[in-house]
Structure 1
Amino acid sequence: MYGTSAGKLAIIITTQGPAMATHIDEVCARGSTLIRAKGSYTTTERQVLLCACSKAEAYKVRRAAHQTDPDAFVMITETSEVFGEGFIDPTDNVKIQ
C-alpha cells in the first residue's frame, strides 16, 4: 500500500513542548517542530509538537510523550511520504518525463 518513503507522524498537544521535544530527541534521535496553540474552549496556551518518524519509532515517540506529559493529547497518523533530513532524499525515485 505504501512505498519506501511511508512513515508515521506524531501530533502531540502539550503544555510541556520544549521539554517534550528535548526528551523525544534524546530517546528517539528525532527532531520535531513546535507550534504555539491555544485551546478553543479553555483558551489555555499549549504547544503542538509534530514529529515525523518511522513505524518502528512511533512507539518510542508515544512513550516519550507520555513520560514527559501524561496529560498530553497524542495522535499518531500514517503518512504516505516523508522527505527531508533523516529520511529519504526528495529527488530519489523521481521519474523525469
Structure 2
Amino acid sequence: TEIKNTSNIAFDIDYVSFKIVDKKVIKRTAMQEQVLELLRAQNYVTVVSGKQSERTVFALEKFTIPDDKQLVIEVAEKEGGRHQSFVVENDDIVRANVIDELSITN
C-alpha cells in the first residue's frame, strides 16, 4: 500500500484491517465477514507527515476471494475522521506480478 497525505496535517494511523466481505448486502441479511490476520509488515508506519507519502508491504496468509466477495482494506486515523478504505477483487490479484525473490533490507 501507499498512503499519500496531501494535507498539511499529519495522518496518525490507528489501525489497518483486511477483511473479505460480501459484494452485495441485502437488507435484513447478516453480512458475512472474514478478518484476515497480518503475518508481517515491512516499513509499517504509524504517522504520515503532511505533504508526504509512505509505502508499506503487508504479508497475509494465502487466501482466495470467491466471486461474490471482495477484499476491503481499511486504514483508520487515530482520533480523527479521515478513515480510508479500498476494495481489491479477485481479478486484481490474478493480474498481479509474481515476485520470485524478495530482498529485504533494513
TM-score, with structure 1 as normaliser: 0.31
- Tell me: higher relative CO, structure 1 or 2? Use CA pairs within 8 A at least 6 residues apart: 1
The structure with the largest alpha-carbon Rg is 2
Higher share of residues assigned helix: 1
TM-score, with structure 2 as normaliser: 0.29
Higher share of residues assigned strand: 2
